[in-house]
Amino acid sequence: MSKYPDSFFRVSVKAVIRNKEGHLLLVKEHFDDWVLPGGGVEEDETMENALSRELKEELGANNVISSKFLSTFSYYAPKKEVWCLWLLYEVEIDSYDILLASDSSEAAYIDIHSFKDSERYSEQRIYKAFIA
């Protein structure tokens, strides 16, 4: 049984950072799957502050130059037995150099079309959020 009520959504802010070729900057955190940089919004935290904090934790980005709300994406996470809601923000950071911080083991710009036939759930979610 889930520890969350049926109506609960885990809300996360996710950064959409693209290079000149249009590939997305993705990170590997605790798993071997690629994910969008970002994470959960803490109590009493604005979306912008959560986004800045997460980008510093995962990429070492000290300065978010701009962020613009793009859209939402929701999905059910069967392992956690909870619905998740992503708030997607188009983000420009102070540098397009990849600077790993302690929360990430790897980062790269990836063409998400390569995830079309992925067997990894997190990569399928990214593909569905932007392509499907």
Question: Does any domain span residue 4?
Answer: no
Range of the structural domain that residue 108 is part of: 9-130
Question: Which CATH number do you get for residue 14?
Answer: 3.90.79.10
Question: Are the C-beta atoms of residues 120 and 126 closer than 8 Å to each other?
Answer: no
Question: Does any domain span residue 106?
Answer: yes
Tell me the whole-structure pTM to 2 decimals. Answer: 0.83
Question: Are the C-beta atoms of residues 39 and 49 closer than 8 Å to each other?
Answer: no
Q: What is the pLDDT of residues 60-95, one digit of tens each?
A: 887 777 889 999 999 888 877 888 899 999 998 876
More confident residue, 56 or 5: 56
Q: What is the pLDDT of residues 89-126, one digit of tens each?
A: 999 887 645 566 666 678 889 999 999 999 988 889 89
Question: Does any domain span residue 3?
Answer: no
pLDDT, residue 110, reads: 92
Sign (positive/negative) of CA torsion 129, 69, 14, 108?
Answer: positive
Going by pLDDT thresholds of 50, 70 and 90, the confidence category of residue 7 is low
Question: Does any domain span residue 1?
Answer: no
Average pLDDT, integer, range 32-37: 86
Q: How far apart are CA 71 and CA 97, in angstroms?
A: 25
User: Residue 57: is its pLDDT beyond 60?
Assistant: yes
From edge to edge, which strands make up the β-sheet containing 9-16? 38-40, 9-16, 82-93, 64-77
pLDDT, residue 120, reads: 87
User: Residue 24: is its pLDDT beyond 90?
Assistant: yes
Report the domain count for the chain: 1
CA neighbor of 48 nearest in space, from 35, 58, 38: 38
pLDDT, residue 87, reads: 94
CA neighbor of 60 nearest in space, from 93, 35, 19: 93
Question: Does any domain span residue 2?
Answer: no
